[in-house]
Amino acid sequence: MQVEDFLKLCAVRVDGALETSLASCTEAPSELLAAIRYSLKAGGKRLRPALVLSACGLACGDDTPALPGACALEMIHTYSLIHDDLPAMDNDDLRRGQPTSHKMFGEAAAILAGDALLTLAFQEISRSGNIDAVRELALASGAEGMVGGQYLDMQAEGRTITLDELRRIHAGKTGALITASLRIGALLGKAPQSMLSSLTLYGQHLGLLFQITDDILDVVGDSAVLGKSIGKDQKSGKATYPALMGLSRARALADKTADTALKALQDFGQEADVFRDIAAFLLHRNH
Amino acid sequence: MQVEDFLKLCAVRVDGALETSLASCTEAPSELLAAIRYSLKAGGKRLRPALVLSACGLACGDDTPALPGACALEMIHTYSLIHDDLPAMDNDDLRRGQPTSHKMFGEAAAILAGDALLTLAFQEISRSGNIDAVRELALASGAEGMVGGQYLDMQAEGRTITLDELRRIHAGKTGALITASLRIGALLGKAPQSMLSSLTLYGQHLGLLFQITDDILDVVGDSAVLGKSIGKDQKSGKATYPALMGLSRARALADKTADTALKALQDFGQEADVFRDIAAFLLHRNH
């Protein structure tokens, strides 16, 4: 199966589970649920849930125990986009060609929809009955992980930063959640420690690869394929890999990072091909 | 011991545990931690942590297993105040006489400090190792609980609402977290089902009592003792118990609600006196 078909298949399953989760919130105000649903359904590659499911599948041959974890990761990712788009943050009116949450529902509703989604993620992952998975999700998405990265990113605006600072921002902002996807899937599949370590290493490099190629696409991508305008980073003076090291060295770093991600999988046979395919997909992606 | 001294004693212990928790976030940006610490240390009665500790103490004679739960509840409460004060929400410049988070650190930092605190609450409660406590916290603080109540409150602004609507808003906005404090303390103390039910019933009425007396204080309170300006609800046309039913009927409802809270404790002897004292304290409070 092509990796894009695999991602689509994961997306269908996760979307179903997300809808089940929302439908069970019978005591929630319906307009608040509508705002949450709007952002959850706005599309995206569902890369994080696919990593959760695949890691669990690798660990125990069955990915169904990881479905609550997959939903939780997508909920955290989605809340972070809602809050990121707010006027006080990136002030974006459009995401994936659609009006952002605060443009659709107002700023207060967008703040609360994000807060509710973040909270629902922990309700969802608690269904797994695995307290280690809860702790992992909190660590990766909080002040020492994703929120910390967003804070550093905000602080870096309008000033020149070093490659080391850029790496730290992204390790938090995108890396932590991608690595956590693999670790949570592995935990829910009761993976042995060695497998958990390999997937962690793979995840750290996959997260970096994701960010480098994201930055490159902002320079060379096709806005119609991407569903967003390109050149935005450059215009806003945002630090990116191509800006800090030039396009060709950024491409070489992407190649090298994909290589390191693959090396982390060297103890596994073809049962880990899905992870190799995902790395190749991110390296060569055009959206 | 007077209940106010008891609350102060709880506050000292919880403040110590909160500081330990923050100090362990060594990977977090220090300015983000400073913003979190600022709001956590801004004072308040620490009512919720005291309820968590007391419920656990009643259940098993030792309240130390509940310390992570006590911290988590205070973190959720504090994050909700930070987000509530934002310009897009209540737009408050002062809280307890101090500049609000966004006034001190800017709006983006306040949003992120709130997000980080909400996430840290789940990291903290996961230390208890009790997955039921995690689920309880998520349910009480999310779309079906506190955030749902905040959403309804925001929707109600500027229009006349019924007493039933007011009750639903407060059951979410303040009631859910107060009830959850008791339930989480009981869960962490491995309380039997009958004790959990009694404390739940007590908590529901204590939450209502808290809100009615809060509304009454906004009419008759002393702004110097309260540390905030009074008459604010009336000026902003906010629905309150005195506004909807008149001051004397609101006072009668507070008396009746305190009575019902006490009745929920009728199976307990003097080991539950702390809960009786807290109900009396809220009924007669002047701040």
Q: Cβ–Cβ of B27/A148 closer than 8 Å?
A: yes
Q: Cβ–Cβ of A147/B112 closer than 8 Å?
A: yes
How many angstroms separate the CA atoms of B197 and A126, rounded? 22
Q: Residue B276, Cβ neighbours under 10 Å: how many?
A: 17
Q: Cβ–Cβ of A129/B131 closer than 8 Å?
A: yes
A129: chain B residues, CB-CB within 8 Å: 131
Task: Give A258-286 as a DSSP string.
Answer: HHHHHHTTTT--GGGHHHHHHHHHHHH--
Judge whether A137 lies within some domain.
yes
B144: chain A residues, CB-CB within 8 Å: 25-28
Judge whether A241 lies within some domain.
yes
A109: chain B residues, CB-CB within 8 Å: 151, 154
Tokens found for residue B216: 């009454």
How many angstroms separate the CA atoms of A5 and B7, rounded? 58
The answer to whether B157 faces chain A, any CB pair under 8 Å, is no
Residue B228 near residue B97 (C-beta atoms within 8 A): yes
Residue B188 near residue B56 (C-beta atoms within 8 A): yes
| Closest to B145 (Cα-Cα) out of B122, B121, B174 | B174
Residue A66 near residue A56 (C-beta atoms within 8 A): yes
How many structural domains are present in chain B? 1
Per-residue pLDDT tens digits for A41-60: 987 889 999 999 999 999 99
Per-residue pLDDT tens digits of chain B, which is 287 residues long: 799 999 999 999 999 999 999 999 999 999 999 999 999 998 788 999 999 999 999 999 999 999 999 999 999 999 999 999 999 999 999 988 899 999 999 999 999 999 999 999 999 999 999 999 999 999 999 999 999 999 999 999 888 899 999 999 999 999 999 999 999 999 999 999 999 999 999 999 999 999 999 999 988 876 666 666 667 776 677 789 999 999 999 999 999 999 999 999 999 999 999 999 999 999 998 77
B89: chain A residues, CB-CB within 8 Å: 108, 111
Residue of A27, A31, A142 with shortest CB distance to B119:
A142
Q: Who has greater pLDDT, A156 or A238? A: A156
**Mutate: best of B89, B119, B124, B155, partner A, most A CBs <10 A:** B119
Judge whether A8 lies within some domain.
yes
Judge whether A286 lies within some domain.
no
Tokens found for residue A164: 């080391």
B31: chain A residues, CB-CB within 8 Å: 151, 155
Residue B178 near residue B48 (C-beta atoms within 8 A): yes
Residue A268 has pLDDT above 90, yes or no: yes
Residue A265 has pLDDT above 90, yes or no: yes
**DSSP H/E element including A159:** none
Residue of B83, B107, B123 with shortest CB distance to A138:
B123
Query: Tell me, what's the pLDDT at B16?
Result: 96
The answer to whether A112 faces chain B, any CB pair under 8 Å, is yes
Query: Tell me, what's the pLDDT at B90?
Result: 92
Residue of B115, B116, B147 with shortest CB distance to A112:
B147
Tokens found for residue A113: 């929809």
| Closest to B123 (Cα-Cα) out of B18, B38, B30 | B18
Helices (H) and strands (E) in chain B, counts: 16, 2
Per-residue pLDDT tens digits for A271-285: 999 999 999 999 998
Question: B86: nearest CA in chain A?
Answer: A108
- Helix (H/G/I), strand (E/B), else coil: A243: helix
B29: chain A residues, CB-CB within 8 Å: 143, 148, 151-152, 155
Task: Give A204-223 as a DSSP string.
Answer: HHHHHHHHHHHHHHHHH--H
Residue B86 near residue B102 (C-beta atoms within 8 A): yes
* Residues near A57 by beta carbon (within 8 Å), at least 6 away in sequence: A63, A66, A185, A189, A274
How many angstroms separate the CA atoms of B170 and B172, rounded? 5
How many angstroms separate the CA atoms of A63 and A66, rounded? 6
| Closest to B214 (Cα-Cα) out of B179, B185, B257 | B257
Q: Which amino acid is at A275?
A: F
| Closest to A40 (Cα-Cα) out of A116, A106, A129 | A116
**Measured CA distances, B20 to A49, B71, B130, B146, B272 (Å):** 33, 10, 20, 26, 30
Residue B67 φ/ψ, nearest 5 degrees: -60, -45
* Residues near B195 by beta carbon (within 8 Å), at least 6 away in sequence: B58, B59, B186
Question: What's the complex ipTM?
Answer: 0.96
Percent residues over pLDDT 90 in chain A: 86
What is the overall mean pLDDT for chain A?
Answer: 94
Q: What number is the average pLDDT over the span A9-15?
A: 96
Maximal CA-CA distance, chain B:
54
Judge whether A106 lies within some domain.
yes
Residue A206 near residue A155 (C-beta atoms within 8 A): no
Q: How big, in percent rounded to 5, are the helix, strand and coil portions of chain A?
A: 75, 0, 25
A40: chain B residues, CB-CB within 8 Å: none
How many angstroms separate the CA atoms of A35 and A113, rounded? 6
Judge whether A204 lies within some domain.
yes
Q: Cβ–Cβ of A143/B28 closer than 8 Å?
A: yes
Per-residue pLDDT tens digits for A173-226: 999 999 999 999 999 999 999 999 999 999 999 999 999 999 999 888 766 666
Residue B10 φ/ψ, nearest 5 degrees: -60, -45
C-alpha distance from B8 to closest chain A C-alpha (Å) = 29
Domain that holds residue A186: 3-281
Judge whether A85 lies within some domain.
yes
Give this prediction's pTM. Answer: 0.96
R_g of chain A computed on alpha carbons: 18
Task: Give B2-53 as a DSSP string.
Answer: -HHHHHHHHHHHHHHHHHHHHHT-TTS-HHHHHHHHHHHTS----HHHHHHH
In the stretch 75-94 of chain A, residues with CB closer than 8 A to chain B read: 83, 86, 88-89
Q: CA triplet A10, A68, B193: central angle to 5 degrees? A: 160
The answer to whether A143 faces chain B, any CB pair under 8 Å, is yes
**Measured CA distances, A270 to A6, A54, A247, B278 (Å):** 16, 13, 33, 63
Task: Give B175-237 as a DSSP string.
Answer: IHHHHHHHHHHHHHTT--HHHHHHHHHHHHHHHHHHHHHHHHHHHH--HHHHTS-SSHHHHTT
Tokens found for residue A59: 């660990």
Residue A213 near residue A241 (C-beta atoms within 8 A): no
Q: Who has greater pLDDT, B116 or A240? A: B116
- Domain of A196, CATH number, reads 1.10.600.10
How many angstroms separate the CA atoms of A83 and B91, rounded? 18
The answer to whether A144 faces chain B, any CB pair under 8 Å, is yes
Question: B125: nearest CA in chain A?
Answer: A135
A147: chain B residues, CB-CB within 8 Å: 32, 112, 115-116, 119
